[in-house]
A and B are shown apart, each in its own frame.
Chain A
C-alpha cells in the first residue's frame, strides 16, 4: 500500500481539550476507601468489628438478665434456651456478662489508643517541628522510657492507683505514646523539608497553619494505621491484667476477667473459658487484619 500525502489530514490541536482530565476527581480518602474495599480480609475484619460493636451495644438488652444480678438457684448452668451462654458460679447470665464485658474491653481499647495517640502526636509533633535542643531532650527521654518494660509501669500504676477502667486507660496511655511520638516525629522531620512546606513558608504561612494545614493532614494516614494497631494491643493488655487479677473487678465484667474465672473451672465447664477467649481472639484478629489492610490502602507507595 502506498502512503501518500493526500491520505493525511491536518486536524490541529484544541488547547482547551488537551488540558482536560477525563478521570473523575477523587480525594485521597475516596481513593484509600476504594483500595480498602478490594481487600477481602480487611473488609471481613471491618465487618466483624462492626458486628462486635453493635452487639456490645444491644447484646445485654437481648436477654432479661442484668450482668451483675446473681441467681443462686441457677448456678453453673450450661448454655440453654434460658441462658444462651450459661451462667457462672453465682448464677449470673454469661450472655449479658460477655457483651457488657465487650463494652468494657472495646471502650478501654479505643480510649487508651486514642489517648496515647493524642499524647504521641502532640509530643512527636512538637519534637519534630521545633527540632534542636527540645527535640534532643524529648527523644532521649523517650529512649529511657522505652528501655523500661511497659508492663512494669502499668502494674505499678495499678497497684498504687487501684484497679478500674479509668486507671487502666491512664496507665496504658502513659506507657503507649512513646512509639507514636517517635513515628510522628520522623514523619514531621521528613515532611517539613518537603518543597510544598517550603512553598507555604515562602507565602508567609504561620506555624499553626503549617502544622494543621500541611503537616498533620499528611501524617494522618500513618497515625490512623498506628491507632488501629494500638487498639488490639490495649484490649489484650487489659485482658491480661484482668486475667492476673489486676484489671476490672467483679461484679463488673470484662473479657479478660471472664476468661480468668473461666480458667479456674476449665476442666468442668470448658465453655466458660472458651467463649470469652473466642471473642478476645476474633476481635484482635479482625482489628489486626483491618489495620493491615488500612496500611496498604493508605500507603501512597503502593499506589497503582
Chain B
C-alpha cells in the first residue's frame, strides 16, 4: 500500500514587494506532495526560492497564494491553538549552525525551549529528556550547561537537530543543513538524519544544492528553477533519466568518482545568467537559456504534468 500524503503543496506562491513597485516572485505556483516517512529533496541554484519555499511551508512566511496541506489541514488558515499544535508537528533545521543557536542561552535551554513552550516536561523530567536528546545526537550530558560558541560547526548542527526533535515532530524541513559544514562532517550529519528518520518515522523536506548528497538521502527529488519546480521524480529516475533541459544541465555537472569516466564526461554549459525574479516575463522561466526553446515557450507557462509514474516535468517539448 502506498503511504498517505503528509504534506501537499498546491499552487503555492510567495511574492515579496521590492522598492519601485516591483514584485519579487520568490516562489510561484509550486506543486508537490510528500508521502509519510519519505524524504523529498529540493535542489536548485542559489536564489531559486528553495529556502523561501521551505519557510513558507513551515509558516515562517505567510503565503501570497495557494495552500499547504499538512495531514489535510491548511497550515496557513489555522486558529491560534491549531497553529501552536502545528509547531509541535513540523520543525525545521537551519542552514547556518553559527546563527541558528541563541548565543546567550545554554545548550540545555536551547534544546529545552520547545519542551518549555509546549509544557511537555517539567523539572527533573525535563533535564532527563534534554540528556536523552543530547545522547540521541551523539553529545554528552555535560554539554547541556555549555554555550553554543564552545562547539564546532558539526556539533552545533547536531544541537539544532536535537532542538527540532525535542517536540517529537512528524515532519522536518532541513534547510541546507549541511552546506555550511566541512565535507567530513557533512556525512556524519546526513547519516544521523537518516538514522533518526528510520528510528522515529520522520518525514523530511531536504533542501540543498549538493546534488550527490541529495541523491544519497532523498527518495524523490524536485528541481527548482526561479521559484517553480521544473522536474520531480524518484531520485534514481531523475539521476538516470533527466528530462527537463535544466535538469540535464545540472546532472551533467556532477563529478563522477571514476577518473576514466570523469575524463569523458560532457558538461552541458548553460548560456547566460539566471534572469531576475522581479517582474518576470510570461512563458517558461527557463526559455532564455534553453537550447530547445520554441515560440510557445515565450507565450505560455508549461504545465507541470506527469509523464511517467511519479515523474513530473514542466516543459513544452516533452
Contacts and interface: CB of A to CB of B under 8 A. Distances in A.
B167 A28 contact: no
A28 B60 contact: no
Given A21-B150, A204-B88, A195 B99 contact: yes
Contact of B139 (A19, A201, A203): A19
Contacts of A218: 102-104
Interface residues of B, number: 38
B206 interface: no
Contact of B113 (A198, A205, A217): A205
Contacts of A162: none
Interface string B100-134: 11111100000001100110000000000000000
Nearest to A205: B117
Nearest to B58: A202
Contact of B92 (A28, A199, A205, A213): A199
Interface string B305-317: 0000000000000
B203 interface: no
B138 A19 contact: yes
B84 A204 contact: yes
Contacts of B142: 20-21
A15 interface: yes
B200 to A, nearest CB: 17
A278 interface: no
A16 interface: yes
A21 B143 contact: yes
B163 A209 contact: no
Given A204-B87, A205-B117, A214-B102, A199 B94 contact: yes
Interface string B78-107: 000001100110111011100111111100
Nearest to A193: B99
Contacts of B118: 204
A28 B147 CA distance: 8
A23 B150 contact: yes
Given A194-B99, A203-B117, A217 B60 contact: no
A25 B146 contact: yes
Interface string A165-204: 0000000000000000000000000000011101111111
Contacts of B102: 196, 200, 213-214, 217-218
Given A196-B99, A200-B102, A200-B113, 16 more contacts: A21-B150, A21-B151, A23-B150, A25-B145, A28-B147, A198-B100, A199-B101, A199-B160, A202-B90, A204-B88, A204-B114, A204-B118, A205-B113, A205-B117, A217-B104, A218-B103
Interface of A: 15-16, 19-21, 23, 25-28, 194-196, 198-206, 209, 213-214, 217-218, 300
11 contacts: A19-B140, A20-B142, A21-B142, A27-B147, A198-B55, A198-B100, A199-B101, A202-B90, A203-B87, A203-B163, A209-B117
